[in-house]
Amino acid sequence: MEILIANDDGYQAKGLEVLASIMEELGHVTIVAPNGGRSGQSNAVTMGAPMRLKQIAHTDKRDTYVSDGTPTDCVKLGLEVLCKNHKPDIVVAGINHGSNASVNVIYSGTMGIVFTACEQGVPAIGFSLDDHRQEADFSYFAKYIKEIVLLLKDEKASICWNVNAPIGQLKGYRFTRQCRAHWAEDVVSTADPQGNPIYWLAGYLNNDEPEAADTDLYAMQEGYISICPSSIDTTEHNALNKLNGKI
């Protein structure tokens, strides 16, 4: 297998090394990672400015590159420059330090990588652990990664896989849907040393359907890995059918 890996926590992130080490067992790995943290970058792309791409390491099993672009830029550079003549069999993103379940999916640089790969017709899976800390313990999750990749790799390439694990011991995995939730109290007003107002994003994710047992947040709360099949087709088809008088 030819495997392309990108992430949004940057080339030095522990989660990236964990994922790359596992994927090396399945084939040759090309990594394109940002030169620093790019959390919350969603599907942002660099427009009207050039980007760099530099190889920083090479072994028989792995070639590692860094870029000053966004996570989405990284996967585009990987697909269009490095793998132009040998399209990868799969793109994997992560392992992200922090959950990308529920509505986090739309803000996630990790899932931005997956959505872009899907747009380009390449099967893609995003892996995220619900622990933002640099030193997060990926060991429980790591045991399942290879199995999940082998399970999903031959599914339709139009499915964007969003795989999230809670911390600690795991009971297995469940297929889930994206939970309805929203960020609450997510802007904090403080002041700079001169007394001028400044604003920070903060807050917490509020689960809007905590009782629903088929969601990603519920599965994780119960100690399962959540595997949510996502899509880049944002159309609300039920609403569209209604609007067009079909139902």
Sites for its own copies among residues 89-148 (CB under 8 A): 103, 105-107, 112, 115-116, 119-121
Choosing from 89, 167, 212, 229, the residue that interacts with its own copies (CB under 8 A) is 229
Query: Minimum CB separation from its own copies for residue 33, in Å?
Result: 15
Distances (CA, A) of 91 to 116, 155, 167, 218: 10, 13, 24, 27
Find out whether 144 and 173 touch, Cβ atoms under 8 Å: yes
Task: List the interface residues with its own copies, window 153-192 (CB under 8 A).
Answer: 155-156, 158-160, 162, 175-178, 180, 182-183, 185-187, 189-190, 192
CA quadruple 150, 2, 14, 7: dihedral sign: negative
Coil/strand/helix, residue 37: coil
Q: Decide whether 23 or 219 has the Cβ nearer to its own copies.
A: 219
Q: Decide whether 93 or 160 has the Cβ nearer to its own copies.
A: 160
Task: List the interface residues with its own copies, window 20-49 (CB under 8 A).
Answer: 37, 39-49
Phi, psi of 131 (to 5 degrees): -155, 110
Q: Decide whether 24 or 205 has the Cβ nearer to its own copies.
A: 205
- Interstrand relation of 204-207 and 181-184 (parallel, antiparallel or unpaired): antiparallel
How far apart are the C-alpha atoms of 80 and 85, rounded to whole Å? 9
Q: Decide whether 139 or 234 has the Cβ nearer to its own copies.
A: 234
Among candidate residues 206, 205, 165, 202, the one with its CA nearest the CA of residue 187? 202
Query: Minimum CB separation from its own copies for residue 70, in Å?
Result: 8
Among candidate residues 84, 81, 54, 49, the one with its CA nearest the CA of residue 66? 54
Residue 55 is encoded by which pair of tokens? 């190889």
Q: Decide whether 154 or 155 has the Cβ nearer to its own copies.
A: 155
Query: Minimum CB separation from its own copies for residue 139, in Å?
Result: 26
Task: List the interface residues with its own copies, window 189-228 (CB under 8 A).
Answer: 189-190, 192, 196-201, 227-228
Q: Decide whether 85 or 169 has the Cβ nearer to its own copies.
A: 85
Residue 130 is encoded by which pair of tokens? 């619900």
Query: Minimum CB separation from its own copies for residue 43, in Å?
Result: 4
Query: Minimum CB separation from its own copies for residue 92, in Å?
Result: 18
How far apart are the C-alpha atoms of 225 and 228, rounded to whole Å? 10
Write out the H or E segment, with its range, that includes residue 59: none
Choosing from 85, 139, 239, 247, the residue that interacts with its own copies (CB under 8 A) is 239
Q: What is the DSSP string of 114-133?
A: HHHHHHTT--EEEEEES--S
Q: Decide whether 25 or 222 has the Cβ nearer to its own copies.
A: 222
